[in-house]
Structure 1
Amino acid sequence: MLYKIFINNYSFFKIYISLRVEMNKIKYETKNFKSETQQLLHLMINSLYSNKEIFVRELISNASDAIEKLRFHILSTPNLCEHDDIFIIKIIIDKDNGIIKFIDNGVGMNKDEVIVNLGTIAKSGTKEFIELCKSKDFNKNNYIGQFGVGFYSAFIVSDKIVVRTKSVFDNNNGILWKSKGKGNYIISECIKNNRGTEISLHIRDNEKKFLDYDYIKNIVVKYSEHISVPVEVSTISNSNIHKSEKINKGIAFWARNKSNITDNEYKQFYKNISHDYEDPLLWIHNHVEGNQEYISLLYIPKKLPFDIWHNNKNGIKLYVNRMFIMDNNEVFIPKYLRFVKGIVDSSNLSLNISRETLQDNYIVKSLKKSLTRKILSKLNSLANDNLNKYQIFWNTFGVILKEGLAEDIINKDKIANLLRFSSNKSNVEDQVISLKEYTSKMINNQDKIYYISSDSYITAKNNPHLEFFNKKGIEVLFLYDRIDEWMISYLSEYDGKRLQSINKFDESLNKLDNVNIKKLEEYQNTLNPVLKKIKNILFDYVKDVKITNRLINSPSVLVTDSNDMNTQMIKLLVSTGQKVPDIKYIFEINPKHGLIKKLINIKENSKFIELVKLLFDQSMLIEYGSLREPSAFVNRINNFLLNKL
């Protein structure tokens, strides 16, 4: 009897023994995550994700990307895999063993790729992200899927993850990766006959709802309808399949008729391609036919991507005739619109086009012009039709949009129309005033657009340069973003009107104050000896000393000459490590102010010198924010107080 059993199962024993021999040859390696990766894992597992079902979206998205990459490689290497192979994503629920599997037959990974993709979280910006997680204003759901942490969202519902994968380019064994998310992972070779990746999640005892077929099916319906790869959900028990159902249509979402797509579907598609938790601010979906045929589906988010300042690439995925070619493509829209995410599907580009040849391709250049024009047009419509929504956009992306004035000369006027500012008339820090609105409210005889450069809204609002303009009811725009001084150098005029900094000397102001011109000339002639004396004292620091009518309540102010570099530009260049020559200011004094009247009547030379230097230092503090000799200024103040007391 035992002999028959042995004979009948001999083949099984042979396979079993050969597998045992083979597995004994395999070496297991235990590797530690980096310390910052361990911190991020701890945050994720314990507190980062409140919407736990997101892991389904992330793993389906990763599987879809793996299949799309394989399709791309097949274009240049047709024999890479079987021609009759059906690409599919399978989700298998093994309730008996408490496991849910995500399986794809995509490109797969070799050992090095596994270590890079699964052994390293947030390859850039990890530390900044961890600090952000600790801040009070951090909304943990806004950053799901960013920084390469999407895969690890599966640890929220599982206490162990096992990955088996095999690269389509590797004829050797597959790779096994497993971890409990507690600081290290195990990696080794494994027996895997087919290419692709299989991810097994060992579901936690308190998350068993994720082993329910209908529950998972509803989540998959929610997140995978737009995926261009079939997604199949099955349940198994005792190695037998009980239920199996293809969930989605497997049709490229962007290729569908716009009239048949709901707003919710647009929003869900955005969340999948961007890994954003929030709905987009707006989207632009276009089917273009004719000489240039393409489909574009572009989104503008509500939130600024965390790595926007570290990464100049945008979120544009390129398809050719529904075939994925590459992602994070930077050639289809300019850098100042890099926050835009979406899909471009061209019918005119070659399937084997590369990143190197994209840059010089005339079709791509034409596409870039068209897409840029559509985005700016959509923003202009938003600014005209929905002020509240546009304000959300401006508050989030305005600083980046300003880069376009230097980058995109062709669309400079369109970008200028989208700019927003605060001013001395708005009484709020919110930047809500457009250049068009400003020009519509200019007073009689005003032929310039006036602005003031400063370090902050408060500094601008309280600047003495504004005194004349406030008295005359002339609006002055506030420029206090770090980029503003650089930006304004590319915007010399708007609608035929020159932009003028009130931080600079400007004789044309006199025509806005005709009543006082004669008095100003009288003062200038009377006080010429005093002005020369002041200039001699401040010889090392000033280019000239003049009487001004721009001051009402302040005794003096510093302005740069009309041809000299602005103070804010100097500070910007210094902050970037560039050397700039020392500039000499024009020292303007207000002859009607009490201190200046006192100064004129001082006979004692030492007191005269001290008061001149004190007034200059005060003006320097207001204009530049710091002094060359702060201790000397403090001594003057102390001596002044002692004399008064």
Structure 2
Amino acid sequence: MREGNIQVHSDNILPIIKKWLYSDKDIFLRELVSNSSDAIRKLERLAGMGEAEKDDAKPFIHVFVDKDDKTLRVEDNGLGMTEEEVEKYITQVAFSGAEEFVKKYKDQPGDEGGIIGHFGLGFYSAFMVADKVEIDTLSYQKDAKPVHWQSKGESAYEIGEGTRTTRGTTVTLHISGEEVEFLEEGRIRGMLRKYCQFMPYEIFLNPKAPEEAKEGEEAPAGSRPVNNPHPLWLKAPKDCTKEEYEQFYTELFMDFNPPLFWIHLNVDYPFNLKGILYFPQQADKVEVQPGEVKLYNNQVYIADNIKEVVPEFLLLLKGVIDCPDLPLNVSRSFLQNDGDVQKISRHITKKVSDKLHEIFNNERENYEKYWDDIAPFIKFGCIRDESFYERVKDIVLLKSINGGYKTLMDFPKDKDNQIFYVSNLDLQAQYVRLFKEEGKDAAVLSHMIDSHFISFLEYKEKEMKFVRIDADISYAVKDGEAGGNAEAVASSFKELLGKDDLTVKAERLKNSATPAVMLLEENARRFQEMSRMYQGGPAAPAPQGTLILNLENSVVQALPTLGKDRAALLSRYIYDLAQLGQKPLTAEEMSGFMERSAKLLALAAGQSETSGTAAPEKE
């Protein structure tokens, strides 16, 4: 057996890098601007250590779009490069100048985390949109000569003496014919706003001198930076005002409804983590509204909603997370799921639960006011992360049909440790009325996540059960035993109704005005709702309801004294009302209900059901 080496040809690998290095083409601009930011940061570090001359030049990054010339340029006044450095960092794919710089100066005072680049491949993203790329650079080093480098994205390149006279670097992209969208100023401005909105140095797009503005007019767009180099999350929380937090929220998400509250993350040890998480108002109280958590690395945008860093349930929030310690892969677009990331995720979860406890304990009135908006987030968090549930279970609230809120443990339960609840206040209005009249309570659980949350609570709290208000006539609304004639009344009513498959029972309800109610068995109804939720699978059969006649109701009591036709009409109408109190009627059922309503109106007016003539007083 012999050994050998795999041969890799540069002619083949560079096109692969150009095509597959990044998932989105517009990433190239972020990479080039990030390189410029690194160059300025490195120069500042060197000047601070006395290894570079200090001057009064203000750091800048300029982006120029020339549609006529079909070029896009990124220029900075950072430390620049010598010819040797260009050969080393540009022509050797995957050799990272940032990595070498950090390693060389790791023992010097300062924040090495400010250097963005990690892998040295970002520059080559330019070839995803350009046929040709040129570099003009002049190093900060004394007696350095300007350098010009150019390549068409193949293995060959040209390098020689350049013409640049000031320190820094200019990268010129000759945009290919298929990518002319990147010659539109509006497109580039949008990309800078997305990826570079909070980079630490001012970025100007097609900069113009301020004096070009006429007196009394706003300065031209090019004379104003497109980014905010000092985002709010970099300030200490104690130095931030309520107005600043709300203004930053609006600027970031274009949401003009102020957030409920926020959490300012500011951690230096054991990892570097800063950011602000906002709890937004929920516009839709029925469905969960997705949030948006932006991930940054040293103020450079990476991606939205990375669940490896931000727990999935926290993605219902809005905010920013800036963590230079995150391990990023070559594209800076996907995270490596390692132990450090898990620690960061757990820390964010802990800070969120701490904030919720703080508001609950110190601002209980506000906490209850916020509850309808934050409940979906908290419930989803409990379901997704049981450790989060253990942290917040004491501050989970249930909204009462009588108004107000009570904690899960304090909410009234019946003798069997059951909590009655309402999933739709309108459809279940008659059951709510029955409970209220008896001074009883039920929880309002009407959000789409509540069916899952109920099952989760029953799993976690083995002794606790939830029963929808229309699933059982509890002792709360029954008025003693039904009596000996209950079975006969139920049997007679079922015969009049002509529904052999319907279960009919007779009970004495405390509210005599209600002739009947329809009950649905809890487990069967839940199964049917779950089946409906997951479309594509076999639909579960509709749960068979049980009709409960009220023996205390005068109409039910009068049925045996009426003629068969009129008793059948009233029986069917009572059944209609019971169904209406539990669910919407189908088109066919509604048509029948309207027809029976018309007949009853005619009878009430003393007319015949069919002819409109006066009806006999007795049958």
With the length of structure 2 as denominator, give the TM-score of the two structures: 0.58
Distance 1:465 1:305, change over 3 A: closer
Cα RMSD over matched residues? 5.2
Within the candidate set 300, 323, 326, 2:278 is matched to 300
CA–CA distance in structure 2, aligned partners of residues 203 and 621 of structure 1: 73
Q: Which has the higher helix share?
A: 1
Give 1:588 shift: 0.5
User: Which letter maps to 2:184?
Assistant: W
Within the candidate set 445, 448, 452, 1:479 is matched to 445
> 1:226 — aligned with what?
230
User: Which letter maps to 1:226?
Assistant: H
> 1:384 — aligned with what?
361
CA deviation vs aligned residue, 1:335-365 (integer Å, no higher than 9, x gap) = 4332433343446433536678636333223
Within the candidate set 198, 202, 205, 2:206 is matched to 198
Map residues 496-511 of structure 1 onto 2, 5 A cutoff. Answer: 497-505=464-472, 509-510=474-475
Higher alpha-carbon deviation: 526-535 or 440-449 = 440-449
User: Which letter maps to 1:473?
Assistant: G
1:621 aligns to 2:593 (yes or no): no
The answer (yes or no) to whether the contact 1:300–1:340 under 8 Å persists in 2 is yes
> 1:565 — aligned with what?
525
> 1:489 — aligned with what?
455
Distance 1:360 1:545, change over 3 A: farther
> 2:218 — aligned with what?
210
Map residues 362-511 of structure 1 onto 2, 5 A cutoff. Answer: 362-387=339-364, 389-390=366-367, 393-412=370-389, 414=391, 419-420=396-397, 422-426=399-403, 432-436=404-408, 440=410, 442=412, 445=415, 447-454=417-424, 457-460=425-428, 463-492=429-458, 497-505=464-472, 509-510=474-475
User: What secondary structure is seen at the aligned counterpart in 1 of 2:551?
Assistant: coil
CA deviation vs aligned residue, 1:106-131 (integer Å, no higher than 9, x gap) = 899989989xxxxxxxxxxxxxxxxx
User: What secondary structure is seen at the aligned counterpart in 2 of 1:365?
Assistant: helix
1:326 aligns to 2:302 (yes or no): yes
User: Which letter maps to 2:487?
Assistant: N
Give 1:503 shift: 1.3
Within the candidate set 261, 266, 271, 1:282 is matched to 261
CA–CA distance in structure 1, aligned partners of residues 594 and 244 of structure 2: 65
The answer (yes or no) to whether the contact 1:313–1:328 under 8 Å persists in 2 is no
CA deviation vs aligned residue, 1:500-535 (integer Å, no higher than 9, x gap) = 2111126xx33x579x43x32x2xx31312312334
Give 1:498 shift: 2.5
Within the candidate set 595, 598, 602, 1:642 is matched to 602
Give 1:623 shift: 0.6
Identity of aligned residues (%): 17
1:316 aligns to 2:281 (yes or no): no
CA–CA distance in structure 1, aligned partners of residues 389 and 500 of structure 2: 41
Give 1:382 shift: 1.7
Give 1:391 shift: 5.1
Give 1:464 shift: 2.2
> 1:591 — aligned with what?
551
User: Which letter maps to 1:607?
Assistant: R
CA–CA distance in structure 1, aligned partners of residues 567 and 210 of structure 2: 84
CA–CA distance in structure 2, aligned partners of residues 199 and 440 of structure 1: 63
Q: How many residues align?
A: 451
Within the candidate set 605, 612, 637, 2:571 is matched to 612
The answer (yes or no) to whether the contact 1:89–1:104 under 8 Å persists in 2 is yes
Give 1:310 shift: 10
Distance 1:261 1:533, change over 3 A: closer
1:556 aligns to 2:556 (yes or no): no
CA–CA distance in structure 1, aligned partners of residues 129 and 538 of structure 2: 41
Distance 1:338 1:618, change over 3 A: same
The answer (yes or no) to whether the contact 1:336–1:407 under 8 Å persists in 2 is yes
Give 1:581 shift: 1.6
User: What secondary structure is seen at the aligned counterpart in 1 of 2:304?
Assistant: coil
User: Which letter maps to 1:505?
Assistant: D
Give 1:418 shift: 5.3
The answer (yes or no) to whether the contact 1:298–1:342 under 8 Å persists in 2 is yes
Give 1:621 shift: 1.2
User: Which letter maps to 1:330?
Assistant: I
The answer (yes or no) to whether the contact 1:314–1:329 under 8 Å persists in 2 is yes
> 1:14 — aligned with what?
none
Give 1:477 shift: 1.9
Give 1:201 shift: 11
CA–CA distance in structure 2, aligned partners of residues 478 and 310 of structure 1: 17
Unaligned runs of 5+ in 1: 1-64, 93-102, 115-165, 180-194, 228-252, 427-431
Give 1:558 shift: 0.4
User: Which letter maps to 1:284?
Assistant: I
CA–CA distance in structure 2, aligned partners of residues 67 and 168 of structure 1: 11
Give 1:598 shift: 1.0
The answer (yes or no) to whether the contact 2:275–2:320 under 8 Å persists in 1 is yes
Larger Rg: 2
